[in-house]
Amino acid sequence: MKTTKQRLVLILLLIVSINGFSQKVEMKAASKALAKSNFPEAAAQLTKVRGMLDNLDDKTKAKFYFMEAKVYNATGKVDDAVKALKTLMDFEKKIGKPKYTKEAKPMLDNLVKTIREKGIDQYQNQKWDLAKMTLKKVFVLSPKDTIFLQYAGAAALKAKDYDSAIEDFKKLIDLGFKGITTNYTAVNTKTGERENLGSKKYMDLMLKSGQYKDPKVEHVGPVTANLYNNLASSYLGKKELNKAKEAIEKGRKADPNNINVILTEASIAYELGDKAKFTDLMKEAVKLQPDDPNLFFNIGVVSMDQGKVDEAIAAYKKAIELKPDYSDAWLNLAYAKIADDKKLVAEMEKNINNFDKFDEIKAKQLEMYKKALPTFEKALEFNQNRTDFMRTVMALYENLEMYDKMKAIKAKIDSIENK
């Protein structure tokens, strides 16, 4: 006579046997549905199996992952297909039997191609949050495509996702990635900008479509300095200045004349409060790229911050010479020309009861306003919607008793603010 314990064991064995039989039936049904391209039915059968996945033997479990990937791939669920394939590859690597991984290779190649093209499109359309994830998937599925991890890191940096960017760039550095590659670029017929199209095949396709023209093939690398530069920029974005400084020093060692590295080092110096070093680095950058108006603009900003007004004015003028419609340079140049205003106002307040001295200082202030006014009016041409700046110009008109112009600019301000 069987004991209660023995009966319980038999019941459990019976349940396991029934479950195992059920799983085999459903796996077989899913396989038949796949063979007939009946993907909804295949998905339904696999869903039943998933609830009892832990009871499958390794061979059947691997087959389940492969079939699941096939269903997702056939129904256009790219992300789910990628997840299933990744699970399959990791599982078969763990058990040391890559049977279905080999069979899945053509599917994997097509998925990588689809994801790669999607990621490139997102990157080119500046959809940084999407591009950073899509391009990283390319690398995860195809680790040999390290260039796409670099693109993913760049997209993360642009999206201000500094943690992801740091992870990507550190991974590339640890892998010893040099980035010696070939760029296939062409000019976007809509934007007029040259873009990297990723591969010769894709570039040829875009040229045939008429969306791009003027193709170029360029061999580039190594990019070691740029990797450290991007890593430093990511740390800078998080205000982790010591880590940023450490990374940029390695970038500078890799390529002492890399303009981007020099500019990032200058930004770090500025954040650390070393404005003298910032100025020296900016001047070094100017020697390398003497026609870049942004460099002169930044020199002007720091020169003003250090109280070097004449140097700031010279820098802003040079920026404007290189880029006549540089609105911010015109704006800063105008303000630089009345840099003594606060000092003169303070002196007037001290001499409020000394009428002769007060009038003398006031005359200096008005003379300064007269000399600066043409620059303010020129700056106004490029800053038509900056009401804060327009109010400054209005105050100048009022002080110089130019009431008609004062009323006209006030009307413009009211028009903008009442929209």
Instruction: Give the number of other Cβ atoms within 10 Å of residue 145's Cβ.
Output: 16
Length of the chain: 419
Residue at a domain's end among 82, 103, 124: 103
Residue 195 inside a domain? The answer is no
Residue at a domain's end among 84, 103, 122: 103
Q: In 109-258, which ranges are E strands? A: 181-188, 194-196, 212-220
With tokens 């991974």, the residue in question is: 171
Residue 43 inside a domain? The answer is yes
pLDDT at 23: 63
pLDDT at 220: 65
Residue 248 inside a domain? The answer is no
Q: What one-character-per-residue DSSP string does 194-215 give?
A: EEE-SSHHHHHHHHHHTSEEEE
pLDDT at 194: 86
The number of distinct structural domains making up the chain is 2
pLDDT at 383: 87
Residue 176 inside a domain? The answer is no
Packing angle, helices 224-237 and 162-174, rounded to 10: 150
| Residues of the domain holding 379 | 312-419
Measure CA of the first residue to CA of the last residue in the chain; give whole Å: 93
Residue 65 inside a domain? The answer is yes
Residue 70 inside a domain? The answer is yes
pLDDT at 349: 93
Residue 266 inside a domain? The answer is no
Residue 139 inside a domain? The answer is no
pLDDT at 221: 60
Could you read off the pLDDT tens digit of each residue along the chain, which spans 419 residues?
445 554 444 444 433 443 444 566 777 777 787 777 888 887 887 778 777 777 778 888 888 888 888 888 888 888 888 888 888 889 888 889 888 888 888 888 888 888 999 999 998 888 999 999 999 999 988 888 898 999 999 999 999 999 999 999 999 999 998 876 688 899 988 888 888 887 888 889 889 999 899 999 887 667 889 999 999 999 999 999 999 999 999 999 999 999 889 989 998 999 999 988 988 998 899 899 999 999 899 888 888 887 889 999 999 999 999 999 999 999 999 999 999 999 999 999 999 999 999 999 999 999 999 999 999 999 999 988 888 899 999 999 999 999 999 999 999 999 888 87
Strands laid side by side in the 181-188 sheet: 194-196, 181-188, 212-220
Instruction: Give the CATH number, domain containing residue 365.
Output: 1.25.40.10
**192 by DSSP, 3-state: which?**
coil
Residue at a domain's end among 103, 137, 169: 103
- Whether a cis peptide bond, with omega within 30° of 0, leads into 256 is no
